C-alpha cells in the first residue's frame, strides 16, 4: 500500500520525449515488481528523490558537483524506506544546500530518470529510479553551504554556463523550467 501514492503520481505524470517516456515505464514496472523498492538494501536498484531547486527570484537553479559521481547534478538522495519522494527531495535539498526555507512549487512530479550507478567502494552497480520535484527557496542565494557529499555547489542561470560534466537530464529539466515555470 505504501507504493500506491507514488504509482498514482507516476500514472498522472506526462513525460516529455522518448527517453523520459521509457524512464517512466521502467519506473512503473520497478514499483510493481519490488515491494522493497524504497530500500537502499535492494541491490538491483531503489528509489531516489531529487529536485530542480530554483532561487527566491526564480531566475537561477542550483546544482551540486557530486563527490562520488564527479558530475554536476540536481540535489537529491536515497529514499531509505520513505515512500514520499517529495518529502525525500525536500530533506535532501536542505541537507545538500544548507538552505532551510525550501518548499514544493507542486507536489506533482517534475521529471523522472532511471540511471545506472557504477560500482563504488564495494557497492555493486545498481539503478536509481529518480523522481524529481520542483522546489523553490526563499533564502538568499549566498546562503548555500557545500555538504560533505559535494565538491561544489553553484547557482546557474543558463545551460550555456554549465560545465561539460553535467548530468544527462539537466538540459531536459532546464527546458521544462524555462518553458513552464520561469518568470
Reported as type and span, the H/E element at residue 66 is strand 61-66
Kindly state the percentage of the chain with pLDDT values over 70.
Answer: 97
| Residue 19 predicted with pLDDT over 80 | yes
| Residue 73 predicted with pLDDT over 60 | yes
| Residue 121 predicted with pLDDT over 90 | no
pLDDT confidence bin for 34, thresholds 50/70/90 = very high
pTM score, two decimals?
Answer: 0.94
pLDDT confidence bin for 180, thresholds 50/70/90 = low
Q: Is 28 helix (H, G, I), strand (E, B) or coil?
A: helix
Looking at residues 160-172, what average pLDDT do you find? 85
pLDDT at 165: 79
| Residue 76 predicted with pLDDT over 50 | yes
| Residue 130 predicted with pLDDT over 90 | yes
Looking at residues 127-137, what average pLDDT do you find? 98
In the chain, domain spans: 4-140+148-181
| Residue 181 predicted with pLDDT over 60 | no
Q: State the burial class of residue 69 (Cβ atoms within 10 Å of its Cβ: 0-12, 13-18, 19+).
A: middle
Q: In sequence order, what DSSP letters do the residues of 31-46 get, joined into one string? A: HHH-TTTT-TT-TTEE
Condensed to tens digits (0 to 9), the pLDDT of residues 134-159 reads 999 999 999 999 999 899 999 999 98
| Residue 1 predicted with pLDDT over 50 | no
| Residue 36 predicted with pLDDT over 50 | yes
* CATH number for the domain whose boundaries are 4-140+148-181: 3.90.79.10
The C-alpha atoms of residue 62 and residue 68 are separated, in whole angstroms, by 18
Condensed to tens digits (0 to 9), the pLDDT of residues 45-64 reads 999 999 999 999 999 999 99
Amino acid at each position: 500500500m505504501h507504493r500506491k501514492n507514488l504509482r498514482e503520481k507516476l500514472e498522472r505524470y506526462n513525460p516529455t520525449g522518448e527517453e523520459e517516456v521509457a524512464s517512466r515505464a521502467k519506473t512503473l514496472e520497478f514499483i510493481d515488481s519490488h515491494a522493497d523498492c524504497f530500500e537502499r538494501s535492494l541491490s538491483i536498484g531503489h528509489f531516489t528523490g531529487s529536485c530542480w531547486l530554483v532561487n527566491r527570484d526564480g531566475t537561477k537553479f542550483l546544482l551540486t558537483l557530486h563527490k562520488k559521481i564527479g558530475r554536476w547534478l540536481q540535489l537529491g538522495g536515497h529514499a531509505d524506506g520513505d515512500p514520499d519522494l517529495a518529502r525525500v527531495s525536500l530533506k535532501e535539498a536542505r541537507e545538500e544546500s544548507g538552505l532551510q526555507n525550501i518548499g514544493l512549487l507542486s507536489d506533482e512530479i517534475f521529471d523522472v530518470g532511471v540511471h545506472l550507478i557504477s560500482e563504488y567502494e564495494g557497492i555493486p552497480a545498481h539503478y536509481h529510479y529518480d523522481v524529481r520535484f520542483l522546489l523553490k527557496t526563499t533564502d538568499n542565494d549566498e546562503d548555500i553551504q557545500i555538504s560533505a557529499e559535494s565538491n561544489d555547489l553553484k547557482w546557474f542561470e543558463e545551460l550555456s554556463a554549465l560545465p561539460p560534466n553535467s548530468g544527462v537530464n539537466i538540459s531536459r529539466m532546464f527546458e521544462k523550467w524555462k518553458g513552464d515555470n520561469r518568470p
